Amino acid sequence: ELQLSDRVNSIKPSPTLAITSKAAELKAAGKDIIGLGAGEPDFDTPEHVKQAAMQAMNEGFTKYTAVDGTPALKKAIIEKFKRDNDISYEPNEILVSVGGKQSFFNLAQAFINPGDEVIIPAPYWVSYPDMVIMAEGVPVIVKCPAEQDFKITPEQLEAAITDKTKLLVLNSPSNPTGMIYSLDELKALAEVLKKHPQVYVASDDMYEHIRWTSDKFYNILNAAPELKERAIILNGVSKAYAMTGWRIGYAGGPAKLIGAMKKVQGQSTSCPTSISQVAAEAAISGDQNVLDPMIAAFEQRCDLVVDGLNAIKGITCLRPDGAFYVYPNIVPLIKAAGLKSCTEFSAWLLEKVGVAVVPGDAFGLGGHMRISYATDEATLKDALARIEKAVAELD
């Protein structure tokens, strides 16, 4: 019998990708399904970005590039970090990868030893724990309930740190909650980190631009620039510029760590796609006003979905300030349906009214579901009406 590696047996398939493909499967079989599981903008990639890629292709820019990204894209990323985040990096402190997912994968492979602990506040992006496990590290999950806006507190961080702690992962705006850490909250977390010089911090800023706070965007280095030598900032073009399929992410961090991540990448994917790198450069250094209509649409949909959900008995939903997800509490509904978990409730919802959502269990904090509102308003209204109908039958 074929024996798979212990490594692959220790991880699970991405639950969000699984829901998305399950919904697509049911749709293809002729069922009337609304998929609210996908983590990608429904908008098209901006025209000037596509044009840049086409020009690159026509000019024959279709070969391997430098492993860590083209000098032109790295320059654009360095300028972006300066412009948007007030962080200065040298070229050897930047690595371009095949999506934000590969950036974190490289980080885990380059940085985590067997038994090293990585603190991951829950609810978390589904891939962090599994990528840590693949690197033989130990994910230390810290539950952050709705009462604290799904954010880790300094007290929780302090309590979770041990001699084995190597890394803290922060993600703001958050997938799956849309919550954003304020500058003061980041400062308080930084105070704890300063007391523990062995702990590094990964800031996943993937949803930086998808935000409707009046405040500026802040990450941990804005709160504590002195942490720069132990901070790694992860970002990418996938979500902000509706470029999920182009597969470009990037990281900024200490040269030694970035160099090690580059070594991992050089033995796995070689380099990101040449054409996509030109497209990403156009996105990052081009007109940023192209983001405005997308952000305005997300904000409007956010209101629609939050209000719609809160109007349904048994659902309580916080109002996020960013990303394109909501993470409502559905504990009363799980009980009313006589079910045991939000995973069972999600299956029930799909079966009953054809609405696909991702259960909170996938993100490490059950009793909730994640709804992605990266879809048009008519579809969202239809989905809300269906959820209401399903729930009404529970009385």
Which residues of this chain interact with ligand PLP, rule CB under 6 A?
39, 99-101, 125, 171, 175, 204, 206, 236, 238, 244, 249
Closest to ligand PLP by CB, 125 vs 327, is 125
Residue for token pair 């809300």: 384
Q: How far is the CB of 207 from ligand PLP (least distance, A)?
A: 7
Expressed in angstroms, the distance from the first to the final Cα of the chain is 51
Q: How far is the CB of 103 from ligand PLP (least distance, A)?
A: 8
What would you report as the CA-atom Rg of the chain, rounded to the nearest whole angstrom? 21
Q: How far is the CB of 235 from ligand PLP (least distance, A)?
A: 9
Q: How far is the CB of 171 from ligand PLP (least distance, A)?
A: 5
CA dist 146 and 373 (Å) reads 19
Closest to ligand PLP by CB, 232 vs 315, is 232
Instruction: Provide the residue type at 104 as one letter.
Output: F
Rama region for 242: left / alpha / beta (φ>0; ψ in -120 to 50; rest):
left
Query: Which residue's CB atom is positioned nearest to ligand PLP?
Result: 99
Q: How far is the CB of 116 from ligand PLP (least distance, A)?
A: 21
| 47-58 vs 274-285: helix crossing angle, rounded to 10 | 140
Instruction: Provide the residue type at 157 as one letter.
Output: L
Closest CA to 391 of 358, 362, 348: 348
Closest to ligand PLP by CB, 70 vs 308, is 70
Closest to ligand PLP by CB, 69 vs 99, is 99
Closest to ligand PLP by CB, 67 vs 107, is 107
Instruction: Provide the residue type at 87 as one letter.
Output: I
Output the CA–CA distances (angstroms, integers) from residue 183 to 108, 151, 190, 202, 358, in the order listed: 27, 13, 10, 16, 30
Closest to ligand PLP by CB, 277 vs 333, is 277
Closest to ligand PLP by CB, 243 vs 353, is 243
Q: How far is the CB of 351 from ligand PLP (least distance, A)?
A: 26
**Could you tell me whether strands 117-122 and 138-143 are parallel, antiparallel, or unpaired per DSSP bridges?**
parallel
Closest to ligand PLP by CB, 244 vs 274, is 244
Q: Report whether 360 contacts 285 (CB < 8 A).
A: no
Number of Cβ within a 10 Å radius of residue 60 = 8
Closest to ligand PLP by CB, 318 vs 387, is 318
Q: How far is the CB of 24 from ligand PLP (least distance, A)?
A: 17
Q: How far is the CB of 210 from ligand PLP (least distance, A)?
A: 11
Rama region for 354: left / alpha / beta (φ>0; ψ in -120 to 50; rest):
left
CA dist 263 and 260 (Å) reads 5
Cis peptide before 173 (omega within 30 of 0): yes
CA dist 14 and 27 (Å) reads 20
Q: Which residues contact 378 (CB under 8 A, 6 or more apart)?
A: none
Q: How far is the CB of 236 from ligand PLP (least distance, A)?
A: 4
Angle at alpha carbon of residue 149, lines to 148 and 151, rounded to 5°: 75
